[in-house]
Structure 1
Amino acid sequence: MTKNLKYIFILSVLLSACSNTKYLAPGQKLYTGGEVKVQDKDLKKSEAGAIKEELQTLLRPKPNGSILGLRVKLWIYNKTRTKKTKGIAHWLNTKFGEPPVLVSSVDLDKNSNILQNRLQNQSFFQAQVTGDTVSKNAKSKTAKAVYTAVTGPGYKIRKVIFPPGKESIDTAVAGTSAQTFLKPGDKYSLDVIKNERIRIDAKLKEEGFYYFAPENLIMRVDSTITGHQVDIFVAVKNDIAGRSKNIYTIDNIYVYPNYSLRDTSLMLDKAQHYRWYNVVERRKTVNNYIFANTVLMHPGEVYNRTDHNNSLNRFVNLGPYKFVKNRFEDVSTDSSKLNVYYFLTPYKKKSLQLEVLGRTTSANYTGTQINLNWLNRNAFKGGEALKVTLFGSTDVQVGGDNGGFNVYQAGIQTTLSWPRFISPIYPKADNAYIPHTNLTLGYTLVNRQKLYTLNSFNMSFGYQWKESVHRSHELNLINITFVNPQNVSQLYKNTIDSNKNPSLQHVIDKQFTWGPSYSYTFTNTTEDYRTNTFYYNGKVSLSNNLYGLIRGADTTAGKVRTLFGAIFNQYVKFENEVRYFHKTGPGSSFASRFIVGVGLPYGNSTILPYSQQFFIGGPNSLRGFQARSIGPGSFDPSSINTSKGAFLPDESGDIKVEANIEYRPKLFSIVRGALFVDAGNIWLLNSNVLQPGGVFTKSFLKDLAVDAGFGLRFDLSVLVLRTDLGVPLRAPFRQPGEQEWNLNFRRAVFNLAIGYPF
């Protein structure tokens, strides 16, 4: 009976949503949308379809929104209409309701003129558009608008004529002709003409024409040419200001590093000259050399917009400054020279920030972390950012297989970042981005309750720089990590002995790595206008390679070497990650990711140090499996006999392959959906008798774990709250009699996380 009532309720809601027209007054008709019909026998079907699609986006008003044909918002509006200005009904009506869009609100003539104008701007000079409303019958309470567009012939460009004059401005405009957007044979387009004016202006700005503007250009079109062709004459208007025709050079450059709105005087008497610019301030807050990496224009050089914009961006990226404003002024009325002024408003020099974070992992840990950040944005008056972070965290298990062996961490991280290269040799970087030299020192204490304590020390020194808006680099000349285990409990030792599990022993091995690393990133994912976007990150890490070779380290031959009294790790590690995104509509997309990582331990090592190994599973990886619970290869971690109250170790490997694909549809408001499939695993490079099936072979595809699932994402602007339910489809190991592919919702894993998985 309960089920029947549920179905009756759902049916009544759907029927109610379909009967919105009963609320209309006599004579009113609900507008169901506009349709454009393109009529021209000479147009290709694909071209007519593209024109139709474009024109339909221009129609106004938009009809009431619908989901699967049901106008839910209109139904809410009709059901909650009230004269009251307060209460739940008024709130639902104004917050979620949508008033009816009536046919009477459609201006057919205005829409027809807009469509006709658009066609004429796109080469169809003889286009005609008419509109009418259409109903199924006289009694129908709905109607749509139908617009018929007769395009006529499309006009093409025969030739483009640039200014033949000998003035510097005419010569400069004519000099841009090789890169023109106006190509003979292309169809006439007003949009292309507008972009051509902007292109020419941008080119002239690179050649010193500071006061020139796109509006100073005129494009005369002669459409009297036979064969539906046009000639386009590019010219500089006769009545433009004289200075728009002049080439300007830079004279003096002034930087104000402590500017406020109260400053009304230029204080040129306090200017301190440094190399090619002047620093002006009442009280010294910075060393003059700080701006040598930001002021890209030089006295005597011809003005160009690239250096202008790049300098502004570099001032912003320098770090200490909240606002940057600049001004160009004529040296005199009869001079073609510019003085440049940069007015910088600083942040508060020092700040203290407290962060409290919460997290839940698929390994059934609930965690809390507290960070206390102290920041000095101008530590030594050279724009150096000194940041000290004290942190502490707890990860407490509330269920699962690990028996409540909780994890506590505390530590300190200190980072000093210089806004420049500190090196006699460095790559050229005269773009919009400031390069940085970074020094990091840190210590972390990890206490896994009742098991062990790890003391972890780390240090790095290196560089970060952006080659362009898409390409960035990170080179660390030194990466040092030293992990020293202490207070290993007897319970943990007994578990190692009884289970003979190398993963358990590997966690508490001393780890000493020393070497460089390099990372390259390419991405255009921030360019929202693209249908397809791409991300790639590649990284290579080294540890004690040259030192190990010199010392003749070979652990397989018993030649184990030490550095500073500690056994060091020797390896080469490669990491690659590719992401591809394809838009399918407003707010909806396909996202995919592919990861390949390979670590090659040799010489003094037979396996990567635990801190450098690969792991798989969890909310940002294989979501149908708990974090670090599968692999290596076809090895079954549950095959190890564990006593009651013991724990399962984190599984790790030297090689990782992972692939993910996800469909992300926009559902409504701030809610996005997700349908996903994940696959992957980790492997060992060298075989281990205690982990049978764990080594990487040419049959590695048979070891892949696969899951699928669905989820919701709540885009709250400042963060994205994500929920995923992953269901295992294929495990790399199977119990006797178990099928290779097995959809089992009882093994589903619920993931709660912040942000997208990739």
Structure 2
Amino acid sequence: MNNKHFPYFLFLALIISSCSNTRFLPEGELLYTGAKVVVEGKETSKKERKALKNQLKTLVRPKPNATILGLRPKLYIYNLAGTPKKEKGFKYWLKTKVGEPPVLYSQVDLEYNKSVLQNFTENSGYFNSRSTADSTRRGKKASAKYIVNPAKQYKIREVKFPNDSTIIAVALAKTKLTSLLKEKDGYNLEVIKQERIRIDVRLKEKGFYYFNPDYLLIQVDSTVADHQVDLLIKVKEKTPELAETPYKINKIIVYPNFAIGNDSVKADSNAVTKYKDFTIIDSENLFKPRIFDRALTFKKNDLYNRTNHNLTLNRLVNFGTFKFVKNQFKVADTTGNFLDAYYYLTPLPKKSLQLELLAKTNSANYTGTELNLNWSNRNAFRGAELLTISAFGGLEVQVSGQNNGFNVYRFGSEANLIWPRLVAPFNLNSPSGFIPKTKLTLGYEFQNRTKLYSLQTFRGSFGYLWKESDQKEHLLNVTEITYASPQNVTALYEAKILENASLGKVIEKQLIFGPTYSYTYTNTAQAAKKHTLYYKGTIDLAGNITGLTTGANVKKGDTIKVFNVPFSQFIKIENDFRHYLKLRGESQLASRIIVGAGYTYGNSSEMPFIKQFFIGGTNSLRAFRARSIGPGSFNSAPTTVNSFLPDESGDIKLEINTEYRAKIYGLVKGALFIDAGNIWLLNENSEKPGAKFSNKFLSELAVGAGAGLRFDFSFLILRTDLAFPIRKPYLSEGNRWVMDKIDFGSAPWRKENLIFNIAIGYPF
């Protein structure tokens, strides 16, 4: 067979295999190929008919077998797998996980579907509509057709709320302004149901704890005018008195050591602690009473409301100390309309020890493994403080980069202490369910870069974390200290420093201290939104107060040292903005832009290496090796193969990424992407011509494109990307676009340009 005819042969084979699906049907059965819904009639507009048709199509059941270009590959795979001999193995997996059983026409109930469509049409205000159902058979396949003829839609003429003087009627009337039922809107039963829920939510905020939507009646009067209705909202006559009564809070009782399964609790008089408006029953005295003052939003004589109810539960859960949180309200045994609030809290085990073996990747194309030993105490000082101490060790190797062989060995330890409050002379009342926290971190890491050098790093920070809402989060480190000290610098690396003096910055002793602040906004958890955003802004102010008070000025030779090490003085700002656009099905367009800049003054002439910007790699410009691009049009690539590739850094960064993501099959998803960006220096560097930021920065952007697969295993996402450059900033002006040189058939081109990345998780 001629190769040029192969695609046609393959297409024909697919069609034949698709048709052969009907061979496997049981005797007398037909393959159901789907339903067509037609909405017709002259009493409704074209726009109304189109909207109604789109809604009705989603209601028809069952759904036919999935098709691609008219073929049914999942059904074919199901038939191809045959009957597995046991409930495991490849055939069983192929049939049950990849394949899809045939949808038979015998599963279709025409009359039931017709009634569903009829009811939906009537409930949407098209009273007295008509509908019919029929089927068509072609060979061993059958389809259904439903025709709906809606009458003219009824509109809302008036919405009437109660106007008497009872407590419940007055409360109902006050909810009218935000009613979902609007005059001149079409009658819609679903909106009426939502209105009952809305009213119930509003009443819960006004003390009506025992009220629920079923106590509301919305009467429809369709006799008031031609194709118009009046809606009368009222409370049902048999509504219990409890539901019509607003309640206030009386006693607040907390059981912080409650055992699940107890039908009743008995309080030892010695275990009862009175603290402000709370009664705490804790025989083991596990917790300091003040932690509940920060979590429980109700106070004695407060009017019950659902917001404070849920807020309290969320805060108790977010302590991270309790395994179960249960809440109960009971009518108080006292004069007046009062509720007693009970909180039953089951603590998690106080101490735990965990051993983890991790696989990891990073932006420098290094892949490796790490062993972590974590010890934690969830109530270190009886204030729900979380103390964690961890020890770690790991190995990282570069499997697809020019630094292959220059492996990284690392080990260290870190201690974190988190208080569920602000350890500060000020207070911060967050309206969210997340309690503001204070965090203290101390850490040490020893890193050995084989054949190059070793580096010891000591870190410490003290700061505050708080969430303004589900979308907004703040992190303020009052101080963040980093001290880095090199060891065991090899002759190879010293020789490289003679060739490239900037490599010496990597092994300089560094002392960085000062406040940092970051703000994060995201609404990506809102699955119903078509457009979602993520933004993180960070500012790093290192050594500013110390530099200003000491008069440090490196340009004049007035360098100030702390512990015989010059401290860094700079301002660094970085912005990371992401936008996600949901498309049809499970497809998505994800975009990101990163803009950052660092400026040194006073005691520093250059940004410390670990605080500079880098670009390229698995989570950045995927068509270029990690940290190999820039700065500017400077080319740092070594002349010899397998020679050590230095990490290039800069003071300014601009990066733009766009990625189209779509589901291919089952757990496999695909992506097409394009990345662009570069880094630059603020000042001239004679050893790096073209590195300084200028008004030509756009002409110095590196651009790459590629495609990838994502394997979504639910517990992790394994990502593979294959990318290639389409613009190289280090080439001469006028020759930087290299799209005309793309040649996938050329082995030398592939070796020089194709970059394979493997990573865990999405790049952004």
TM-score of the superposed pair, with normalisation by structure 2 = 0.94
Q: What letter is aligned with 1:567?
A: P
Which shows bigger deviation, 402-411 or 6-15?
Answer: 6-15
* In structure 1, C-alpha distance between the alignment counterparts of 2:730 and 2:47, rounded to whole Å: 52
Contact in 1 for aligned 2:43/2:150 (Cα 8 Å): no
Could you say what secondary structure the match of 2:583 adopts? strand
Q: Distance in 2 between matches of 1:423 and 1:459?
A: 18
2:260 corresponding residue in structure 1: 261
Deviations 1:538-590 (A, max 9, x none): 11110112322233333233332223432111111111111111111332211
Deviates more, 1:167-176 or 1:218-227: 218-227
Structure 1 match to 2:713: 716
* CA-to-aligned-CA distance 1:494-548 (integer Å, 9 cap, x gap): 2211x1341x011112222221111111111011122221111111110112322
The superposition leaves residues 289-339 of structure 1 with CA deviations (integer Å, 9 ceiling, x where unpaired) of 221211111111111111111101111111211111111111239752111
Distance 1:24 1:356 in 2: 49
Distance 2:64 2:456 in 1: 64
> Gaps (5+ residues) in structure 2?
745-749
Which amino acid in the other structure matches residue 519 of structure 1? Answer: S
Distance of aligned partners of 1:554 and 1:42 in 2 relative to their CA distance in 1, 3 Å threshold? farther
Contact persistence 1:18–1:71 (CA under 8 A): no
Q: C-alpha deviations, 1:93-122, integer Å up to 9, x for none? A: 444443322333321211111111111222
Query: Matches of 1:724 and 1:167 in 2, distance apart?
Result: 67
Aligned counterpart for 1:674 among listed residues 671, 674, 678:
671
Residue identity in the other structure for 2:512: T
User: What does residue 506 of structure 1 align with?
Assistant: 505
Pair 1:277-2:278 in alignment: yes
Is 1:593 aligned with 2:592?
yes
Q: State the Cα distance separating 1:351 from its structure 2 match.
A: 0.8
Aligned to 2:486: 485
Match of 1:108 in 2: 110
The CA distance in 1 between the partners of 2:41 and 2:600, in whole Å, is: 69
User: What is the letter of the counterpart of residue 367 of structure 1?
Assistant: G
* 3-state SS, counterpart of residue 637 of structure 1: coil
Quote the offset at 1:432 in angstroms.
1.1
1:164 aligned residue: 163
Specify whether residues 397 and 204 from structure 1 end up closer, same or farther in structure 2 by C-alpha distance, changes over 3 A only. Answer: closer
Residue 214 of structure 1: aligned partner? 213
SS in 1 for 2:183: coil
CA positional deviation for 1:681? 0.9
**Contact 1:729–1:744 at 8 Å: present in 2 too?**
no
Look up the match of 2:558: 559
CA pair 757-500 structure 1, distance change in 2 beyond 3 A: closer
SS of the residue corresponding to residue 405 of structure 1 reads coil
Would the alpha carbon gap of residues 460 and 95 (structure 1) be closer, same or farther in structure 2, given more than 3 Å must change? closer
Structure 1: gaps spanning 5 or more residues: none
- The 8 Å contact of residues 258 and 346 in structure 1, kept in 2 or not, is answered as yes
Report if aligned partners of 2:172, 2:199 keep a CA contact under 8 Å in 1: yes
Task: State the distance in 2 between where 1:716 and 1:573 align.
Answer: 38
Report the CA distance shift for 1:218/1:674 in structure 2 as closer, same or farther (over 3 A).
Answer: same
Q: Distance in 2 between matches of 1:97 and 1:494?
A: 60
- Residue 327 of structure 2 corresponds to which residue in structure 1? 326
Counterpart Cα distance in 2 of 1:423 and 1:335: 41
Partner amino acid, structure 2, of 1:159: E
Q: Name the CA distance, whole Å, in 1 between partners of 2:521 and 2:96.
A: 45
Q: Which shifted more, 265-274 or 302-311? A: 265-274
* 2-structure distance, mates of 1:149, 1:175: 40
* The 10-residue stretch of structure 1 (454-463 or 423-432) with the greater mean CA deviation from structure 2: 423-432
User: Over residues 669-716 of structure 1, what are the superposed CA-to-partner deviations in whole Å (9 max), with x where a residue is unaligned?
Assistant: 111111111111111111211111111112211111111111111111
Q: 1: CA distance between counterparts of 2:96 and 2:513?
A: 63
**Distance of aligned partners of 1:91 and 1:491 in 2 relative to their CA distance in 1, 3 Å threshold:** closer
| 1:361/1:751 contact within 8 Å kept | no
Aligned CA distance change for structure 1 residues 208 and 737 (closer, same or farther; 3 Å) = closer
What does residue 630 of structure 1 align with?
629
What is the rounded CA distance, in whole Å, between the counterparts of 2:401 and 2:666 in structure 1? Answer: 35
- Asked whether the 8 Å contact 2:98–2:666 carries over to 1, the reply is no
Contact 1:31 1:103 in 2 (8 A): yes
1:757 corresponds in structure 2 to: 763
Q: What letter corresponds to residue 732 of structure 1 in structure 2?
A: P
1:341 matches 2:347: no
> Of residues 129, 136, 153 in structure 2, which corresponds to 1:134?
136
**1:220–1:232: 8 Å Cα contact kept in structure 2?**
yes
Is 2:687 aligned against 1:690? yes
Task: Tell me if structure 2 keeps the 8 A contact 1:384–1:417.
Answer: yes
- Counterpart of 1:530 in 2: which secondary structure? coil
CA spacing shift, 1:731–1:25, aligned 2, 3 Å: same
The answer to whether 1:350 aligns with 2:373 is no
In the aligned structure 2, how far is the partner of 1:94 from the partner of 1:208?
52
Shift of 1:89: 5.4
Hey, what's the Cα distance between the residues in 2 that align with 1:399 and 1:660?
21
* Structure 1 letter corresponding to 2:122: Q
- For residues 663 and 356 of structure 2, the distance between their equivalents in structure 1, rounded to whole angstroms, comes to 31
User: Separation in 2 of the partners of 1:266 and 1:588?
Assistant: 56
Q: SS of 1:173's equivalent?
A: helix
Name the residue aligned to 1:417: 418
Structure 2 contact 133–146 (Cα < 8 Å) conserved: yes
Which residue matches 1:433?
434
**Cα distance change on mapping 1:262 and 1:365 into 2, 3 Å:** closer
The 1:735–1:648 alpha-carbon spacing in structure 2 relative to 1, beyond 3 Å, is: farther
Letter in 1 for 2:726: L
Structure 1 residues 94 and 410: CA distance shift in structure 2, 3 A? closer
Deviation per residue, 1:184-234 (Å, 9 max, x gap): 122222121111111111111111111010111111111223242211111
% identical aligned pairs: 48
Distance (Å, rounded) in 1 between the aligned partners of 2:438 and 2:733: 56
What SS does the corresponding residue of 2:548 show, helix, strand or coil? helix
Q: Which residue number in structure 2 is paired with residue 120 of structure 1? A: 122
Q: Secondary structure at the match of 2:699?
A: helix
Q: For the residues of structure 2 that align with 1:646 and 1:75, how far apart are their CA atoms?
A: 52
- Quick one: distance in 2 between partners of 1:481 and 1:219? 66
The 3-state SS of whatever aligns with 1:286 is coil
How do 1:725-744 and structure 2 match up within 5 A? 725-734=722-731, 740-742=737-739, 743=742
Helix, strand or coil for the counterpart of 1:695? coil
Q: 2: CA distance between counterparts of 1:91 and 1:717?
A: 17
Change (3 A) 1:665 1:463: same
Report if the CA contact (8 A) 1:606-1:686 is conserved: no
User: How far 1:278 moved relative to its partner?
Assistant: 1.4
Partner of 1:541: 540
SS of 1:19's partner is: helix
Aligned length: 751
Q: Check 1:614–1:676 CA distance in 2 against 1; reply closer, same or farther (3 A cut).
A: same
Maintained 8 Å contact 1:728/1:744: no
CA offset at residue 402 of structure 1? 2.7
Whichever residue aligns with residue 421 of structure 2, its letter is R
Match of 2:290 in 1: 289
Task: Report the equivalent of 2:38.
Answer: 37
Q: Does the aligned pair in 1 maintain the 2:660–2:672 contact within 8 Å?
A: yes
Aligned twin of 1:199 = 198
Residue in 2 aligned with 1:311?
Answer: 312
Are 1:475 and 2:468 counterparts?
no
Partner of 1:748: 754
Name the structure 1 match of 2:747. none
Quote the offset at 1:738 in angstroms.
5.4
Contact 2:617 2:626 in 1 (8 A): yes
Q: Does 1:155 align with 2:157?
A: no
Q: Is the 2:431–2:468 contact (alpha carbons within 8 Å) kept by the matching residues of 1?
A: no
Q: Please, what TM-score do these two structures have when normalized by structure 1? A: 0.94
Contact 1:593 1:660 (C-alpha < 8 Å) held by counterparts: yes
Distance in structure 2 (CA, Å) of the matches to 1:2 and 1:510: 68
Post-superposition offset of 1:152 = 1.8
User: Which piece of structure 1 moves more, 517-526 or 488-497?
Assistant: 488-497
Distance across 2 between alignment mates of 1:291 and 1:334: 27
